[in-house]
Amino acid sequence: MNAKVEKGELSTGTGDGHVVSSHGVHCQLRLHGRGGQGTVTGAELLSVAAFEDGLYAQAFPSFGSERMGAPVEAYCRIGRHVIRTREPVSQPDVVIIQDPTLLGQVNLFGGLRPDGYVLLNSVESFDEQGLADQLAPFRRERLLTVPATEIAREHLGRTTPNSALLGGFAAMTGVVTLEAVCQAFRHRFAGALGEANVAAATAAYEYVRHETEEFHHAASD
C-alpha cells in the first residue's frame, strides 16, 4: 500500500542536516526481533505513521520462521514517491533491534550504510556490550540505545518494546513525527491501550532526544 505525499520531508533528528535516504527517495528500515515481540506490527505501525505525515510507505515481514522466540525480521520503506520495489531490505538506512539477545546470533548490521542509524533496545551501551570494534565504521552519534522494555513495562504493564522503539526512531531520525507515531497507535489500539502506547512512545522520544543532546554537548566541549 502506498499513500499520497502531501507534506513532510525526510530529515534527520540529529541536527546535522543530512537526509536519511539510501537512494534519494526512500528511507529503508530493517527491524530485528523475536516471534511474539511485535516486530512485524512495529513495521506496520511505522508505515501508518508515515502515511499520517503524508508520505508513501510499505511494510512487510521476512519469510522465515515466526514461531514464538525465533528471530524475525520485518522491513519498512518510507519515501516521497510511490515505492515499487518489494525486495527485502538488504542495505538499510536504519536498523532497529528489539531484543539484545540477538546480538552475536544474527547478522544485525549487515548492509548497514556507514552513515546509517542503529536503535537498540537495551539498558547497556554498545561499548558495555563489547560492540565498539564491530560498530567502529559507523557514526557514533547515530548509534543509540533506549531501555524500551523498561519503558513498556512502566507504561503498558508488559514488556513488548515496539511502541517505545518507534518513539525513539522518531526522535533519532526525524523521518516521521512523534505526532504521527501517536496517531498510528490510536488508530490501531482503542481507548486506554492506545493512550498507553502513546505514553510509551513519548517517553522513549524524550529519552532519545535527551541522549542525543547530551552527546552533542559532550562532543562540542
Question: Domain for residue 1, yes or no?
Answer: no
Question: Domain for residue 203, yes or no?
Answer: yes
CATH number of the domain that 39 lies in?
Answer: 3.40.920.10
List C-alpha distances in Å: 11 to 113, 124, 190, 202: 16, 27, 30, 19
Question: Domain for residue 120, yes or no?
Answer: yes
Number of domains in the chain: 1
> Which tens digits make up the pLDDT trace of 146-163?
999 999 999 999 999 999
Strand ranges in the chain using DSSP code E only, listed in sequence order = 26-34, 56-61, 71-79, 94-97, 117-121, 143-146
Question: Domain for residue 11, yes or no?
Answer: no
List C-alpha distances in Å: 168 to 2, 23, 83: 24, 23, 24
Question: Domain for residue 177, yes or no?
Answer: yes
Which of the pair, 8 or 144, is modelled with greater confidence?
A: 144
> Which tens digits make up the pLDDT trace of 13-34?
433 333 345 444 469 999 999 9
Query: C-alpha grid cell for residue 100?
Result: 539484545
Residue 86: partners with Cβ closer than 8 Å, 6 or more residues away: 58, 60
Q: Length of the chain in residues, anyone?
A: 221
Amino acid at 142: R
Question: Domain for residue 4, yes or no?
Answer: no
Residue numbers of the domain that contains 201: 26-220
Q: Is 73 helix (H, G, I), strand (E, B) or coil?
A: strand
Rounded to whole angstroms, the Cα distance separating 28 from 25 reads: 10
* Least confident span in 49-53, 76-80, 217-221: 217-221
Question: Domain for residue 13, yes or no?
Answer: no
This prediction's pTM:
0.87
Give residue 214's pLDDT: 85
